Structure 1
Amino acid sequence: MADVIVAGGGHNGLVAACYLARAGLDVEVLEASPVIGGMTATNEMVPEAPGHFINEASIHASLFRNTAIDAELELTSKYGLRMRRVDPAHVHLGFEGESIAMWQDANRTAQEIAHFSKKDARSWLDFVESVTAGVEIGLPLMLTSAVRPEPKQLAKALAKMGKHRKELLPLARWILQGHAEAIEERFEHPLVRGPLTINLPFMPFDSDASAYALIYLGVYHRTGVAMFEGGTGAFPKALIACLQDAGGRVRANARVEEILVDGGRAVGVRLEGGEEVRARKAVMTSFSPKRVLGELVPQELLSHEDQVKVRHIPTNETGARDYKLNIALKGKLRMPRHQEWRARTFPGDTVDLKLPCVTWNTHEQALDAFRACVRGEVPEHVAGLAQITTAFDPSMAPEGHDTYWFWTGLTPGTPNEGWDVARDQITERVIKESALFYEGLEELEIGRRPLAKPDIAERFNAIDGNVYHVDPIITRLGPLRPALGMGNFQAPIDGLWMTGSGTHSIPGISGMPGHNASKTLLRQLRKERRRGFLRRG
Structure 2
Amino acid sequence: MSFLDQPMTTTDELPRSADVVVVGAGHNGLVSAAYLARAGLDVVVVEASPTYGGMTATNEMLPEAPGYKINEASLQASLFRTTNIDQELGLGRRYGLKQTIIDPAHFQLAADGSSLGLWRDPRKTADELRHFSRRDADRLLDLYRVIDSAVEIGLPLMQTNVTRPALKAVMKTVAGAAKNRKELVNVGRWMANSQAEAVEEYFEHDMIKAPLLTSLPFMPFDADLSGWSLIYLGVLSKYGVSMFHGGTGSFPKSLAACIHDHGGKIITDAPVEELVVTGGRVTGVRVRGGKEITARRGVLTACSPRTTLERLLPDGVLPHRLQNAVKHIPTKKRGITDYKLNIALSGTIRMTKHEKWRGDGIDLRLACNCFHPYEEVLAAARSCVRGEVPDQVPGLATVPTAFDQFAPPGKDVFWYWSGLTPAIPRDGWDQARKQITDNVIRDAQQYYEGIESLEVARRELAQPDLEERFWAIDGSVYHVDPTITRFGPRKPAPGFAGYRTPVPGLFLTGSGTHPVAGISGMPGQNAAKTMIKLFKAEDSGGLRHRIAALAEQERGVQARLELADDPWPTPSAPHA
Aligned residue among 257, 265, 269 for 2:285: 269
Partner of 2:526: 516
Question: Which residue is 1:2 aligned to?
Answer: 18
Identify unmatched segments of 5+ residues in structure 2.
Answer: 1-16, 547-576
Shift, 1:161, TM fit: 0.8
Q: 1:399 aligned to 409, 434, 441, which one?
A: 409
**Counterpart Cα distance in 2 of 1:531 and 1:511:** 32
The answer for the alignment partner of 1:478 in structure 2 is 488
1:534 Cα deviation from its structure 2 partner: 5.7
User: Which residue matches 2:549?
Assistant: none
The 5 A counterparts of 1:255-334 are 255-334=271-350
Q: 2-side partners of 1:531 and 1:111: how far apart?
A: 62
1:207 to 217, 223, 227: 223
Distance 1:263 1:82 in 2: 46
Distance between the aligned counterparts of 2:24 and 2:148, measured in 1? 33
Instruction: Tell me the residue number matched to 1:346.
Output: none
Q: 1:385 aligns with which of 381, 389, 396?
A: 396
Asked if structure 2 preserves the Cα contact closer than 8 Å seen for 1:130 and 1:167, the reply is yes
- The amino acid across from 1:382 in the alignment is V
Unaligned ranges ≥5, structure 1 = 344-348
Match of 1:374 in 2: 385
TM-score by length of 2: 0.91
8 A contact 1:325–1:450 mirrored in 2: yes
Contact 1:299 1:307 in 2 (8 A): no
TM-score if structure 1 supplies the norm length?
0.98
The C-alpha deviation readout for 1:106-140, integer Å capped at 9, x for no partner, is 00000000111010000100101111111111111
1:362 equivalent to 2:378? Answer: no
Question: How far apart are 1:59 and its partner, in Å?
Answer: 2.5
Give the partner amino acid of 2:454.
L
Hey, what's the Cα distance between the residues in 2 that align with 1:531 and 1:434?
64
| Cα pair 1:201 1:410 within 8 Å, conserved | yes
User: 8 Å contact 1:202–1:472 — kept in the other structure?
Assistant: yes
Q: CA deviation at 1:273?
A: 1.2
2:424 matches 1:414: yes
SS at structure 1 position matched to 2:44 = strand
**Structure of greater Rg:** 2
Judged with a 3 Å threshold, the aligned counterparts in structure 2 of structure 1 residues 493 and 121 are, in CA distance, closer, same or farther, namely same
Query: Which residue of 1 is the match for residue 209 of structure 2?
Result: 193
Mapped to 2, the partners of 1:235 and 1:318 lie a distance apart of 30
8 Å contact 1:381–1:429 — kept in the other structure? yes
SS at match of 1:58: coil
3-state DSSP of counterpart to 2:496: coil
1:185 CA drift (Å): 1.0
Residue 533 of structure 1: how far off its partner (Å): 5.3
> What is the alpha-carbon distance in structure 1 between the residues aligned to residue 361 and residue 177 of structure 2?
38
Secondary structure of the corresponding residue to residue 214 of structure 1: helix
Displacement of 1:492 in angstroms is 2.0
Supply the distance in 2 between the matched residues of 1:534 and 1:352 (Cα, whole angstroms). Answer: 59
For residues 415-467 of structure 1, what are the alpha-carbon distances to aligned partners after superposition, in whole Å with 9 as ceiling and x for unaligned?
00000000000000000000010111100000000000000000000000000
Name the residue aligned to 1:230: 246
Structure 1 distance, partners of 2:121, 2:336, is 32
Where 1:95 maps in the other structure, the secondary structure is coil
SS class of match (1:328): strand
- Residue type of the partner of 2:204? E
Is contact 1:372–1:379 with CA below 8 Å preserved after alignment? yes
Report the alpha carbon displacement of residue 211 of structure 1 after superposing the two structures with TM. 1.2
Do the aligned partners of 1:27 and 1:249 also contact (CA within 8 Å) in 2? yes
1:471 partner amino acid: D
Query: 1:484 Cα deviation (Å)?
Result: 1.3
- What CA RMSD, in Å, does the superposition of the two structures yield over aligned residues? 1.0
Q: Report if aligned partners of 2:161, 2:526 keep a CA contact under 8 Å in 1.
A: yes
TM alignment of 1:117-136, pairs within 5 A: 117-136=133-152
Contact 1:46 1:449 in 2 (8 A): no
1:299 counterpart SS class: coil
Please state how far the C-alpha of 1:504 moved relative to its aligned partner: 0.5
2:500 alignment partner in structure 1 = 490
After superposing on structure 2, the runs of 4+ consecutive aligned residues of structure 1 that deviate more than 2 Å are: 530-536
Which of 351, 358, 380 lines up with 2:362 in the alignment?
351
Inter-partner Cα distance in structure 2 for 1:416 and 1:48: 29
Residue deviations 1:27-68 (CA, integer Å, cap 9, x gap): 000011111100110011142311000001122223111111
Deviation track 1:75-133 (CA, whole Å, cap 9, x = no partner) reads 00111100011100100001101110010000000000011101000010010111111
Could you say what secondary structure the match of 1:401 adopts? coil
Greater shift, 487-496 or 374-383, is seen at: 487-496
C-alpha displacement of 1:195 = 0.4
Aligned partner of residue 25 in structure 1, secondary structure: coil
Q: 1:82 aligned to 2:82?
A: no
For 2:394 and 2:221, how far apart are their aligned partners in 1? Answer: 13
Q: 1:370 to 1:532 in 2, by over 3 A?
A: farther
